[in-house]
Structure 1
């Protein structure tokens, strides 16, 4: 009974991470929709961080915005809903995944739900942040996109850590085998 309760609490914690990502995204978009007119620019940090409201009917950097409505809906709404549902099922059914991996997946799910909600409720995704780092400039994005990028980063870090641990284990096993062969 204790294990089941602990497992349930862990899943609830993961759902809270999803909800926080979704909530921050949606609150920020509500503020932007109410207070900025399309293409208005507000400088937050001189020439480096600018708020600019745009409505994106496509995916990342407007990819797919010129597709026919049916295809765009299928690719940018239906397919992602299925992938996000699978992601929730995956973290629920694979309880032994590393914590960093579970948290990364939750960031991806929270950000994904935020953008899909916009597509369904508003017909487009509200993007509003633009950064210029002198060496490179971002497109216009939102907090759901930030959640998705953080989720990807966490999954990459998890994979790098797992690969490093595997190499260390293999080196340790090889050393042990060599020591045993010498004795």
Structure 2
């Protein structure tokens, strides 16, 4: 009987780990691929606009954080805030993902997307000193800030965590066991 229970536990850990790594590799891979395509092509042609400028691809280097917050900080402060502090946060998030086995399924997916997006942007910061942004959405004069695939993963991950933990528990509140 104990052997059967142990087999289920190992199977659970393997499936959970595969899910986390699949999400991480997909998120980081798509993020880095799209950023490389932008770096290789958009600087040459400026910006591309579709559907009456509802979707715009425009190359930008962001030395700051979300919506360029902190872009005006000195280079040293940006390094400590956006490279070192973010690295520590992401390491803690990774530890939590792999060690907290009672995390709900959608929370697990959300945390994995946040970690993948954070890693994608961190790669840019360590290699280029800034993050490559390229997407703008809008309707008429109302536009989003410029962002990238990693930012989208982070926001989607945060939304999943919110929905999974929002009371009253709905279908997103199921436990991942």
Q: Which of 11, 21, 29 matches 2:27?
A: 21
Unaligned runs of at least 5 residues, structure 1: 167-183
Report how far residue 39 of structure 1 moved: 8.6
- Partner of residue 163, structure 2: 157
**1:80 equivalent among 83, 86, 109:** 86
Q: Distance in 1 between matches of 2:26 and 2:119?
A: 11
Q: Is the 8 A contact 1:111 1:143 kept in 2?
A: yes
CA distance in 2, matches of 1:152, 1:86: 16
TM-score (structure 2 length as normaliser): 0.87
Relative to structure 1, the CA distance from residue 156 to residue 135 in structure 2 (aligned partners, 3 Å threshold; closer, same or farther) is: farther
> Computing the radius of gyration over CA atoms, which structure comes out larger, 1 or 2?
1
Deviation, 1:133, is: 2.5
TM-score (norm 1): 0.84
RMSD of aligned Cα (Å): 1.7
Q: State the alpha-carbon separation in 2 of the partners of residues 128 and 21 from structure 1.
A: 16
Measured after TM superposition, the shift of residue 68 of structure 1 is: 1.4
Provide the rounded CA distance (Å) in 2 between the counterparts of 1:164 and 1:38: 51
Regions of 4+ moved over 6 Å: none
Q: Which residue of structure 1 lines up, in the alignment, with residue 123 of structure 2?
A: 117
Aligned to 1:129, the other structure's residue is in SS state strand
CA distance in 2, matches of 1:153, 1:165: 15
- The structure 1 residue matched to 2:65, chosen from 59, 65, 75, is 59
After superposition, the C-alpha distances for 1:86-108 in whole angstroms (9 at most, x for unaligned) are: 11110111111100000000000
Deviation per CA, 1:41-70: give whole Å up to 9, x if none: 111332100110011111112111111111
Query: Unpaired segments of 5 or more residues in structure 2?
Result: 1-5, 171-177
Q: Equivalents in 1 of 2:156, 2:103: separation in Å?
A: 18
Shift of 1:38: 7.4
How many corresponding residue pairs?
164
